[in-house]
A and B are shown apart, each in its own frame.
Chain A
Amino acid sequence: MATLTKYPTEPLKCWNKAKELRLKYYKDYAECKQRGGIRWSGGAWAMDAIPAGLGDDVYTLTSEPYAASVAFDPKLNAECQSAADAKGWSRDLCSYMRTYWGSMYVNKYAFGGEFPKPDFAFQTQICCSHHKWYQHVAEYKQIPYFTIDVSVGLYKDVDEGRIAYVVNQMQESIPWLEKVTGRKFDDEKFIAAVNNECRTTSLWAEVCTLNKAVPAPLEEKTMYALYVLATLSKHSKEFGDFYEELRDEVKDRIARGIAAVSTERCRLITDTQPPWSYLSMYRYMEKYGAVSVGSLYTFALEGVFADQPDGSWGPRPTPEQLGIKIRTREEALRIYADWNLSKPEWQHFYDPQIKTDIMLRMVKEFKLNGVILHLNRGCEGLSKGIMENRLGLVKAGVPVMTYEGNMGDEKEMDYPRTLSRIDSFMESLGFNKLEN
């Protein structure tokens, strides 16, 4: 019989700070109008450094993390989902979008009070649902709407024409923003925001890369509470500072051999957004000593990665780290477009093979035993090509488990059967449940 190593573990020191920052973000959005501020809503992939050029009192509500927050309150979420049903929206549409619309219809904000009306909608479009989302918000709330189409193909194939299309649209957005807000656009602030966004998203990638360590200093359920900051506001200096603090703490945990899960013996990754009402699934996996050390989703929804000099996968160096000083709006827009187009989580929209390759790389570099794919009925964007990813992983000899669920609609999940599927998967990997 193998003896089980028990690693030391301890809670994350900066955990509470992450929670506070998140709550403050939602509160600021609700209250900023009293202080004369501007607020807008858009997706978690919106180019949020651009409206930052309008001033320091500009606040955002990013819709996917907001809907995920609603999903944590099953009663409110059910109310929102029914409200979307009542308006005739199909059940299989993006469940975040349905929840967000529902929250708007029932006029309830998950963080208290009425649903705060945004001054304008500012969106990007890579998934078919993105533009429909705010097209409807704009028509329902009678607010101006601008969207930038960033679906120009694989980053490796991006050329002058493709980047120009994205840059041109961003250029066009600036006079539009000035017009709808009556404010003057400040290039200095915009340039600073671009630098901050590169820093924040690169730092998050660095934190994720640290999870290659055995035992893993972080596990995915915890990471959900950390990565979310970048989905709220990528260009925030405050969030960047937090990630720096987090990185240092994680490095310290590795140096001291601190594990996220003391009984780690099986390392996994997942894929796509989790079913938010059933995160206890991750605790169930721990009964087998199985730890999800992350996912392409948690890592690269916002994290920006690149090949490292040693050939491994890690954070993309920021323009500042490369000694590039951004001087003009044009330079900033170009760098900003290029940075975002290189996002790993954007590549499978054009070719599933790229994502399979990244996952295989993760299997190797993060020393994984297997992969669990969430066939997420709530998100067509991140589910795109997922069966080809499965096929690619299986062909390469990686054990894969799939389960169907929905990130934002708990009706679509069969939880007991999912757990029994985990039992079968663990059994096939050769792991038994641990005695307490």
Chain B
Amino acid sequence: MITAGIDVGAKTIKVVLLDGGKILAKTSVLAGFETEQSVEEAYKEALAKAGIERSAVGKVGATGAGRKAVAFAQTVVTEVSADAQGAVFLHPSARTVIDVGAEEGRGIKTNADGKVVDFAVNEKCAAGAGAFTESMARALEVTLAQFGDISLKSNKSIPMNAQCTVFAESEVVSLIHSNTSKEDIARAVHDAIASRISAMVRRVGLEQDVILVGGVAYNIGFLDSIKRTLGIENVVVPQDPEYVGALGAAVVAGAAGN
């Protein structure tokens, strides 16, 4: 049976079409003000990409903050469950899922079936999420991609506090003024955010394998830092890490009612 997973996030809507164990298509569109319309657009695009008719899809699962906008979904799950399902589907030995998106960071402990055992989500604060890195990259006048790259060139550890984005930004500015290299500042920022995320992960308990999903997983500087702060060698980053939630929704849809 072909199933669809639709992840309606704050910024983007992502669709994954799944046929048993095989991913048929992935699409992502920016979420407009008319969420339902954007969902429709993304879904159609995915169907076209896979070259299948709407009627070929047996079940539709929705997740994400705007999941209610998917009126035609048969199953609806939270991002936390979708992440766990998607991660275990891709990497069966995953037990800890770290999802760092634009506005939210999550640490999830899962069992072998992709069932959530415990989870922690960042509180009312952007410091543990992607938005924080974006604002720091802006302060350094580099692109997000460069930001990750240059961070790897540093081997210096500058303690920095990621408690507050605004305060951290002024700290970055004063580091710039004191002629600290961009590379060292980039690493300090990644270490700081990784430290926040690690703290959250420790709250649910660190169990390997650890899989990193969400858009921030593309940032190799962050990946390097999170390995260091967690004190582990291996953190799995799946292909297309930002689609794991949508994939999980598709998996759940397929499992429902069987």
CA gap between A394 and B203 in the complex, in Å? 11
CA gap between A394 and B124 in the complex, in Å? 24
Q: Is the CB of A424 within 8 A of B124?
A: no
Kindly identify which residue among B79, B116, B120, B124 contacts A428, using a CB–CB cutoff of 8 Å. Answer: B116
Kindly identify which residue among B78, B120, B121 contacts A427, using a CB–CB cutoff of 8 Å. Answer: B78
The reply to whether the CB of B123 lies closer than 8 angstroms to some CB of chain A is yes
Q: Is the CB of B119 within 8 A of A424?
A: yes
The reply to whether the CB of A421 lies closer than 8 angstroms to some CB of chain B is yes
Q: Is the CB of B81 within 8 A of A427?
A: yes
Given contacts A394-B118, A420-B65, contact A414 B80 (CB under 8 A): no
Q: Count residues on chain A whose CB falls below 8 Å from chain B CBs.
A: 17
Q: Is the CB of B78 within 8 A of A420?
A: yes
Which residues of chain B come closer than 8 Å to A387, judged between CB atoms? 203
CA gap between A294 and B80 in the complex, in Å? 27
Q: Which of A182-223 contact B (CB under 8 A)?
A: none
Which residues of chain B come closer than 8 Å to A421, judged between CB atoms? 121
Q: DSSP class of A's interface residues: helix, strand, loop or mixed?
A: helix
Residue from A399, A413, A423, A424 whose CB has the most chain B CB atoms within 10 Å: A424
The reply to whether the CB of B115 lies closer than 8 angstroms to some CB of chain A is yes
Q: How many whole Å from B215's CB to the nearest CB in chain A?
A: 19
The reply to whether the CB of B77 lies closer than 8 angstroms to some CB of chain A is yes
Which residues of chain B come closer than 8 Å to A402, judged between CB atoms? 120
CB closest residue in chain A, given B108: A424
CA gap between A375 and B124 in the complex, in Å? 12
Q: How many whole Å from B87's CB to the nearest CB in chain A?
A: 15
Q: How many whole Å from A259's CB to the nearest CB in chain B?
A: 28
Q: How many whole Å from A399's CB to the nearest CB in chain B?
A: 8
Kindly identify which residue among A399, A414, A420 contacts B124, using a CB–CB cutoff of 8 Å. Answer: A414
Q: How many whole Å from A315's CB to the nearest CB in chain B?
A: 34
Which residues of chain B come closer than 8 Å to A394, judged between CB atoms? 118, 205
The reply to whether the CB of A404 lies closer than 8 angstroms to some CB of chain B is yes
CA gap between A245 and B12 in the complex, in Å? 57
Q: How many whole Å from A93's CB to the nearest CB in chain B?
A: 18
Q: Which of A403-436 contact B (CB under 8 A)?
A: 404, 412-414, 417, 420-421, 423-424, 427-428
Which residues of chain A come closer than 8 Å to B77, judged between CB atoms? 427
Kindly identify which residue among A375, A404, A413, A427 contacts B80, using a CB–CB cutoff of 8 Å. Answer: A427
Q: How many whole Å from B117's CB to the nearest CB in chain A?
A: 8
CA gap between A387 and B204 in the complex, in Å? 11
CB closest residue in chain B, given A429: B116
Q: How many whole Å from A365's CB to the nearest CB in chain B?
A: 24
Q: Is the CB of A428 within 8 A of B119?
A: yes
Q: Is the CB of B123 within 8 A of A424?
A: no
CA gap between A375 and B121 in the complex, in Å? 13
Closest 7 pairs (CB-CB, A-B): A424-B80, A424-B78, A428-B116, A414-B124, A404-B123, A423-B78, A427-B81
Interface of B with A (CB < 8 Å)? 65, 77-81, 115-121, 123-124, 203, 205
